[in-house]
């Protein structure tokens, strides 16, 4: 491997392990650097949000295009009622989770803040962004190792998840106030949204588009995360399950 | 005119009995959503307050608001409202015409400066200095501004005055503009609908007359008592919506059984109006009851929000008209294919590089 020698285990590294006393070099074992990146609340939030997005997209699609009409008495069914109930329940989980995640940005470690802004004025950010784009265009082989999100991931997350998610929450509560009434707190807080977006029907329409933006984002997210986990210089999926990010090499960039 | 007649005087003069008058007051209280304790208050106001002059102007419009108004359901309401508000100028209803009519306008404006109500049906077109709507030889926008300057309050009758309606639909060649965007310094009550429900119109006027103030308005300036709930919220077909029973086509079993019209584009869930409670023509029916979805005529820009027979607006600009879902599915398919291709190239390049790394 092209990794520098420092990553190869030395005899001293084996002291106190079951391999104590063996020669390290023939084992060809490597030492990997691991950093604790995603704290427990972030991971919990991630998977809760992932589950709620699945429920929201499925039920949301069905609200727009309901399943075939049911026969029999109306009193024996509550199909659209349940679809809407699930949508609102999942929406509350998504929204409360989003709020908690914003709070955690202040309480958590430095990586917890990456979702909420992009370092627009830093030259380094643009360089890294270009680097990642070149990697994905198969021009470059590897990008820099990153502890948090790489520049491309961060950009996509900021626009397609954070801003779109916020838009979905705001339009969602505005639409929810149709049911709870214009004098409910949803109506008072989010009543400005629908006139601003050109009316009730237009708000439904844009909320529907938001769903598609998030669906496309999720597709790309799952693909790139799997790909990075296999091909990049750091682990991703394990980082979001147990919180530890492992680096496959310690090469200087 | 030494003493202005009160409503009660007018009604008695027209041969309405005291008994009918009190009935009318209770009906009005009920229509306004007020308790029985307000009936004496309404009666008192009717008996003591001088009639407020109302000037009713017509801009770019189709007169459907007037047509609706003169059909106010209860006969008593119709008779009374038409006499009680002292409708001093309404060029489609008044007997006089031409210079006589215009003279009344000037007289009322001068005599009751700051005390009359201006009701506007239709809206002014602003393009070409307002030449697309000429009233008495002058652009309507000038008449509107002139009459509005001395008004106590303005009622925007219908979707034309409130939002612009069909004449303001894209591309709006005459630049038809709703009243609140032309008159900026007066309280404006929007009573949207194409047309508004007759009882809603009379209810708004009665409220203003009785309590001497504007009714409570929502964020968009519509009276809350009639516009704070959607058609959907009080629709008698709502149980079919919740159950998942829809009309799929206008000639199917569901249509005969009176299922929910959501799938054939009913705009009830996005339209704030009182149709499903007050209904039309003396409470006989309303669009959904006669088997057609709501077209959302009391919502801002309803002409430009896509088909009346689909819930989702079509998206133009993709070569063909397509629904958001079609565009979304195609995009998802394209992204999926792109990702698969990317994955394949990634795998290939990884195999190639393995050789380099293994040196």
Domain membership flag for residue A225: yes
Domain membership flag for residue A24: no
Q: Does residue B300 sit in the same domain as residue B319?
A: no
Q: Which residues contact B256 (CB under 8 A, 6 or more apart)?
A: none
Domain membership flag for residue A4: no
Residue whose pair of structure tokens reads 């208050």 in the numeric block: B41
Q: Does residue B158 sit in the same domain as residue B107?
A: yes
User: In B146-263, where do the E strands start and end?
Assistant: 151-157, 188-191
The two three-digit tokens of residue B261, written as one number: 């019209």
CB-CB contact of A212 with B328 (8 Å): yes
B294 is in an annotated binding site: yes
Residue whose pair of structure tokens reads 């997210």 in the numeric block: A221
Domain membership flag for residue A203: yes
Contacts of residue A83 in chain B, CB cutoff 8 Å? 244
Cα separation of A189 and A129, whole Å? 37
Q: How far apart are the first and last CA of chain B?
A: 111
Domain membership flag for residue A175: yes
Q: Does residue B73 sit in the same domain as residue B113?
A: yes
Domain membership flag for residue A120: yes
- Predicted local distance difference test score (pLDDT) of residue A253: 65
Which candidate, B232, B230, B251, places its Cα nearest to that of B242?
B232
- What sign does the dihedral B178-B179-B184-B189 (CA atoms) show? negative
Rg (C-alpha) for chain B, rounded Å, is 27
Of A66, A211, A223, the CB nearest to B343: A223
Q: What is the pLDDT of residues A55-86, one digit of tens each?
A: 999 999 999 999 999 999 999 999 999 999 99
CB-CB contact of B65 with B59 (8 Å): no
Of A75, A77, A231, the CB nearest to B244: A77
Q: How many domains does chain B fold into?
A: 3
Domain membership flag for residue A106: yes
Three-class DSSP category at A42:
helix
Higher pLDDT, B74 or A207: A207
B165 is in an annotated binding site: no
Q: Does residue B130 sit in the same domain as residue B103?
A: yes
CATH code for the domain in which residue B183 is found: 3.40.50.700
Domain membership flag for residue B331: yes
Average pLDDT over residues B142-166: 94
Q: How many domains does chain A fold into?
A: 1
Contacts of residue A194 in chain B, CB cutoff 8 Å? none
Query: Mean pLDDT highest for which of A197-201, B15-19, B29-33, B240-244?
Result: B240-244
Of B240, B339, B359, the CB nearest to A74: B240
Quick count: other Cβ atoms within 10 Å of Cβ B37? Answer: 8
Q: Does residue B44 sit in the same domain as residue B118?
A: yes
**Domain end call among B178, B198, B227:** B227
Q: Does residue B117 sit in the same domain as residue B201?
A: yes
CATH code for the domain in which residue B263 is found: 4.10.480.10
Q: Does residue B147 sit in the same domain as residue B58?
A: yes
Domain membership flag for residue B110: yes
DSSP state of B23: H
Q: Does residue B19 sit in the same domain as residue B115?
A: yes
The two three-digit tokens of residue B274, written as one number: 């009182």
Q: Does residue B65 sit in the same domain as residue B103?
A: yes
Q: What is the pLDDT of residues B192-220, one digit of tens each?
A: 999 999 888 888 887 887 778 889 999 89
Domain membership flag for residue B1: no
B297 is in an annotated binding site: yes
Domain membership flag for residue B179: yes
Contacts of residue A76 in chain B, CB cutoff 8 Å? 243
Q: Does residue B93 sit in the same domain as residue B148?
A: yes
Q: Does residue B161 sit in the same domain as residue B202?
A: yes
Domain membership flag for residue A26: no
Structural domain boundaries, residue A83:
44-233
Residue percentage of chain A with pLDDT more than 70: 97
A21 touches chain B (CB under 8 A): no
Distance (Å) from the C-alpha of residue A173 to the closest C-alpha of chain B? 14
Distance (Å) from the C-alpha of residue B126 to the closest C-alpha of chain A? 21
Which candidate, A2, A253, A220, A48, places its Cα nearest to that of A147?
A253
Three-class DSSP category at B115:
coil
Quick count: other Cβ atoms within 10 Å of Cβ A180? Answer: 12
Q: What is the pLDDT of residues B310-339, one digit of tens each?
A: 887 766 555 555 677 888 888 899 999 999
- Predicted local distance difference test score (pLDDT) of residue B249: 93
The interface predicted TM-score of the complex, written ipTM, equals 0.87
Q: What is the pLDDT of residues B166-196, one digit of tens each?
A: 999 989 999 999 999 999 999 999 999 999 9
**Domain end call among B227, B247, B267:** B227
B64 is in an annotated binding site: no
Structural domain boundaries, residue B265:
232-311
Residues 180-199, chain A, touching B (beta carbon < 8 A): 181-183, 191-192, 195, 198-199
Closest residue of chain B to A183, computed from CA coordinates: B228
**Domain end call among B181, B201, B227:** B227
CB-CB contact of A186 with A176 (8 Å): yes
Domain membership flag for residue B37: yes
Q: Does residue B172 sit in the same domain as residue B194?
A: yes
CATH code for the domain in which residue A109 is found: 1.20.950.20
């Amino acid at each position: 491997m092209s990794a520098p020698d420092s990553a190869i285990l030395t005899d001293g590294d084996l002291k106190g392990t079951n391999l104590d006393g063996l020669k390290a070099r023939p084992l060809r074992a490597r030492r990997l650097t691991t950093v604790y990146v995603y704290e427990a609340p972030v991971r919990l939030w991630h998977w809760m949000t992932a589950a709620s997005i699945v429920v929201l997209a499925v039920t949301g699609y069905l609200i727009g295009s309901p399943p075939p009409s049911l026969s029999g008495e109306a009193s024996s069914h509550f199909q659209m009622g349940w679809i809407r109930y699930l949508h609102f329940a999942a929406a509350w989980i998504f929204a409360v989770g989003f709020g908690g995640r914003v709070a955690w940005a202040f309480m958590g470690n430095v990586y917890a803040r990456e979702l909420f802004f992009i370092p627009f004025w830093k030259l380094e950010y643009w360089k890294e962004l270009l680097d990642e784009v070149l990697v994905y265009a198969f021009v470059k082989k590897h990008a820099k190792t990153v502890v948090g999100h790489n520049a491309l991931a961060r950009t996509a997350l900021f626009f397609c998840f954070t801003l779109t998610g916020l838009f979905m929450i705001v339009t969602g509560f505005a639409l929810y106030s149709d049911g709870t009434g214009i004098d409910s707190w949803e109506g008072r807080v989010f009543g400005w949204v629908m006139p601003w977006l050109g009316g009730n029907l237009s708000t439904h329409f844009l909320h529907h588009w938001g769903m598609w933006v998030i669906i496309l984002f999720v597709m790309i997210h799952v693909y790139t995360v799997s790909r990075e986990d296999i091909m990049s210089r750091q682990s991703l999926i394990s980082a979001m399950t147990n919180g530890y990010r492992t680096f496959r090499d310690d090469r200087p960039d | 005119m030494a003493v202005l007649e009160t409503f009660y005087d007018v009604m008695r003069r027209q041969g309405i009995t005291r008994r009918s008058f009190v009935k009318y007051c209770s009906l009005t209280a009920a229509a306004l959503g007020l308790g029985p304790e307000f009936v004496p208050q309404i009666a008192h106001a009717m008996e003591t307050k001088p009639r407020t002059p109302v000037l009713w102007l017509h801009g770019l419009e189709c007169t459907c608001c007037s047509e609706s108004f003169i059909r106010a359901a209860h006969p008593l309401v119709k008779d009374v409202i038409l006499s009680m508000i002292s409708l001093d100028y309404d060029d489609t209803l008044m007997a006089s015409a031409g210079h006589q009519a215009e003279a009344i306008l000037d007289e009322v404006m001068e005599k009751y400066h700051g005390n009359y109500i201006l009701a506007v049906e239709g809206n002014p077109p602003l393009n070409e200095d307002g030449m697309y709507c000429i009233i008495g030889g002058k652009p309507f926008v000038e008449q509107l501004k002139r009459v509005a300057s001395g008004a106590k309050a303005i009622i925007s009758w219908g979707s034309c005055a409130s939002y612009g309606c069909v004449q303001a639909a894209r591309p709006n060649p005459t630049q038809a503009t709703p009243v609140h965007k032309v008159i900026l310094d007066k309280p404006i009550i929007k009573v949207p609908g194409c047309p508004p429900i007759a009882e809603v119109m009379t209810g708004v006027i009665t409220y203003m007359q009785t309590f001497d103030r504007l009714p409570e308005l929502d964020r968009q300036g519509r009276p809350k008592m009639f516009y704070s709930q959607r058609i959907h919220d009080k629709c008698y077909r709502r149980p079919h919506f919740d159950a998942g029973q829809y009309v799929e086509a206008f000639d199917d079993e569901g249509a005969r059984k009176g299922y929910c019209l959501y799938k054939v584009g009913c705009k009830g869930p996005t339209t704030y109006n009182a149709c499903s409670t007050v209904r039309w023509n003396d409470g006989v029916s309303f669009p959904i009851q006669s088997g057609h979805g709501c077209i959302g005529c009391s919502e801002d820009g309803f002409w430009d929000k896509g088909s009346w027979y689909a819930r989702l607006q079509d998206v133009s600009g993709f070569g063909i008209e397509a629904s958001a879902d079609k565009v979304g599915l195609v995009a998802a398919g394209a992204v999926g294919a792109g990702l698969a291709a990317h994955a394949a190239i990634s795998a290939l390049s990884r195999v190639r590089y393995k050789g380099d790394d293994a040196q």
